[in-house]
């Protein structure tokens, strides 16, 4: 039997690429993880189109991940596209940069689709200009959405919001209507919405419009985690007058294998010595770092909270880099802090083993930047959160975690001061999350436990995400049959 070859086009950042590869594994179906290199007889084949990452640091990380997956025998194939020079005139506008960079690859995607006899195309949500290629080649095309249904609803609504609002959102003091969510304060909207004349905003309006041209939207969420938002999108409430493309919530799409790293063993050994659910874990993603002013507030808040903590603290990036450096603890922390808290706290000055930490029974709470992958890992393990958003869509995620999902204790973050948090506010939030007699913490823990149960049931046989995956496979089969009939 000739396999149907599904091409995946991820944005080359490691978070987006790894998530889409994991989605590809699920698309291959049961048995894909069994190390079977023989693709003959398999109904679907998955080929990842690899775009060269724009920085040497990102390239090293992505290349290492591609090599691991290729060597695993899992059945994912890789096709490296010819390299394009990244745009140099984006002026720090990251969303504009990602969108324009992927747009440059349209000719290479077209050539690869022909060469590899593609049956369908799945693209990252930053790559919507590539939908034109799919239409030209009569290929079914799906958008892969790595974030929340909340952000998806907002982006679908964004072209209309662009017309409705004359003022910049950063100057607006009211609320924004996102179907499926409570009224969203303007201060909780994503950073790209701040100024309407910014290229980032323009690109997100474009992407939100182009999502409607896809044959379906595959989203890394769980039907039971965001039911109101998925219903609002499916019912056409985000783009009145136009039915939304079919939705395929297949999450949580996570690589839960914690890679063992000898440099992190001391961190896990420290957790092994702590009582169950007693540690609050602070970690802020691949781009999160603190200067001395923020770090000292965190230190004071943790010290005064009286709770055990594991804090992954990273320092400012080196010149010319976006990636945080290993923290200089003498420079960033108050004098004597490490000595005073040595019996109940550990500051980890480099990349932390987040997957292993969240899975550890000693961890009872998570102070997080609210990246969606990190949030899903926390929900998978039933760990309640304190949201400290830093960039991208994280402020909207934080709002949803508190106001819609109920799995988090709120934290007052001063967005106008570069997301500064006062020591007293962090102390309050940690106490609320971790104190046994806190009603606020009890509710967050109960909801997090419910979400853990929902996430795990969703990926079992007959679960909502497994059913969505089968619907997606059937849609790909139908699309291939239709293309053969019209050829």
Catalytic residues: 16, 124
For residues 396 and 148, give the distance between their C-alpha atoms in angstroms, rounded to a whole number.
9
Token look-up 């474009």 returns 206
Produce one character per residue of 371-410: b if its CB has 16 or more CB atoms within 10 Å, e if not: bbbbbbbbbbbbbbbbbbbbbbbbbbbbbbbbbbbbbbbb
Q: Are 409 and 439 in contact (CB under 8 A)?
A: no
For residues 57 and 318, give the distance between their C-alpha atoms in angstroms, rounded to a whole number.
12
Residues 6+ apart with CB under 8 A from 141: 120, 121, 122, 123, 130, 131, 134, 135, 214, 215
For residues 65 and 15, give the distance between their C-alpha atoms in angstroms, rounded to a whole number.
11
Q: Are 218 and 251 in contact (CB under 8 A)?
A: no
Question: How many residues are recorded in the chain?
Answer: 487
The CB-based long-range contact list for 103-106 (8 Å cut-off, 24+ gap) reads 103/127, 103/129, 103/130, 105/9, 105/49, 105/51, 105/81, 105/130, 106/130, 106/132, 106/133
Produce one character per residue of 234-243: b if its CB has 16 or more CB atoms within 10 Å, e if not: eeebbbeeee
Which pair of structure tokens corresponds to residue 133? 């290629």
Indicate the DSSP class of residue 259: -
Closest CA to 127 of 27, 12, 231, 228: 12
Distance in Å from the first CA to the final CA of the chain? 19
Q: What are phi and psi of 367, to 5 degrees?
A: -90, 115
Closest CA to 53 of 116, 10, 7: 10
How far is CA 318 from each of CA 86, 290, 309, 324, 326, rounded to the nearest angstrom?
A: 21, 13, 27, 7, 10
């Amino acid at each position: 039997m000739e396999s149907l070859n599904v091409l995946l086009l991820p944005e080359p950042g490691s978070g987006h690429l790894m998530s889409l590869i994991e989605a590809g594994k699920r698309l291959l179906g049961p048995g894909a993880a069994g190390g079977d290199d023989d693709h003959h007889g398999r109904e679907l084949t998955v080929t990842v189109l690899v775009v060269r990452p724009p920085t040497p640091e990102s390239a090293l990380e992505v290349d290492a991940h591609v090599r691991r997956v290729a060597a695993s025998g899992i059945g994912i194939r890789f096709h490296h596209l010819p390299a394009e020079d990244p745009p140099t005139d984006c002026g720090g506008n990251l969303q504009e940069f990602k969108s324009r960079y992927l747009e440059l690859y349209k000719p290479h995607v077209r050539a690869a689709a022909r060469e590899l006899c593609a049956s369908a195309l799945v693209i990252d949500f930053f790559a919507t200009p590539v939908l034109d290629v799919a239409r030209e080649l009569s290929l079914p095309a799906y958008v892969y959405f790595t974030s929340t249904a909340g952000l998806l609803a907002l982006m679908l609504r964004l072209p209309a919001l662009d017309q409705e609002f004359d003022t910049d959102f950063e100057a607006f003091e009211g609320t924004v209507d996102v179907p499926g969510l409570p009224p969203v304060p303007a201060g909780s909207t994503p950073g790209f919405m701040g100024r309407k004349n910014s290229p980032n905003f323009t690109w997100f309006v474009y992407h939100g419009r182009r999502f409607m041209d896809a044959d379906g939207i595959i989203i890394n969420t769980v039907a039971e985690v965001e039911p109101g938002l998925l219903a609002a999108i499916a019912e056409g409430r985000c783009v009145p007058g136009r039915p939304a493309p079919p939705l395929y919530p297949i999450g949580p799409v996570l690589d839960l294998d914690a890679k063992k790293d000898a440099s992190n063993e001391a961190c896990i050994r420290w957790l092994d010595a702590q009582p169950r659910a007693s540690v609050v874990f602070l970690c802020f993603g691949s781009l999160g770092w603190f200067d001395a002013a923020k770090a000292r507030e965190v230190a004071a808040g943790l010290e005064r909270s009286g709770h055990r903590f594991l804090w992954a603290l990273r320092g400012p990036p080196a010149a010319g880099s976006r990636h945080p450096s290993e923290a200089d603890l003498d420079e960033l922390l108050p004098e004597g802090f490490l000595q005073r808290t040595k019996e109940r706290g550990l500051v980890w000055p480099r990349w932390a083993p987040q997957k292993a930490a969240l899975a550890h029974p000693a961890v009872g709470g998570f102070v997080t930047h609210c990246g969606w992958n990190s949030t899903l890992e926390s929900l998978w393990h039933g760990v309640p959160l304190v949201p400290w958003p830093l960039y991208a869509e994280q402020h909207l995620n934080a709002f949803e975690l508190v106001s819609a999902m109920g799995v988090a204790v709120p934290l007052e973050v001063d967005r106008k001061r570069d997301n500064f948090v006062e020591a007293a506010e962090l102390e309050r939030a940690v106490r609320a999350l971790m104190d046994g007699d806190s009603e606020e913490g009890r509710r967050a823990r109960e909801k997090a436990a419910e979400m853990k149960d929902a996430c795990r049931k969703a990926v079992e046989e007959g679960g909502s995400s497994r059913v969505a995956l089968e619907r997606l496979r059937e849609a790909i089969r139908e699309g291939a049959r239709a293309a053969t009939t019209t050829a």
